Amino acid sequence: MFQLDDNFLTSLGLGDMSTEEKKAFLLHIYEELELRVGTELSKNLSDNQLSEFEKIIQEQNPDKATGWLEANCPDYKKVVADELEKLKQEIQNNKQEILGQAQAA
């Protein structure tokens, strides 16, 4: 699917960040992507489904969570890809600002 790593940042023109800046920014990207995907997927789920999925997430069992998503949100991979693409575009549009903040830190 995709990997949030140094190569990902380099592809966005952010390869010159320090190791610590990269770690922090990758974590931020992951959390933002998780929030956006969750928000998008939740639009089509019932309250019962949301509750069920929340319990699965709390178990911290990625295989079970993936199986649940495949059964209940068959288009989840497309949602992830779409949201990642939007996020990448936002990062590219703000690259100079991001690099400026990273250098100031």
Concatenated DSSP letters of 9-62: HHHTT-TTS-HHHHHHHHHHHHHHHHHHHHHHHHTTS-HHHHHHHHHHHHTT-H
* Cβ-contact 53, 68 below 8 angstroms: yes
pLDDT at 98: 85
pTM of the complete model:
0.84
Nearest to 78 by CA among 45, 41, 23: 41
- Cα separation of 74 and 68, whole Å? 9
**Per residue of the chain (105 residues), what is the pLDDT tens digit?**
678 999 999 999 999 899 999 999 999 999 999 999 999 999 999 999 999 999 999 999 999 999 999 999 999 999 999 999 999 999 999 988 888 876 655
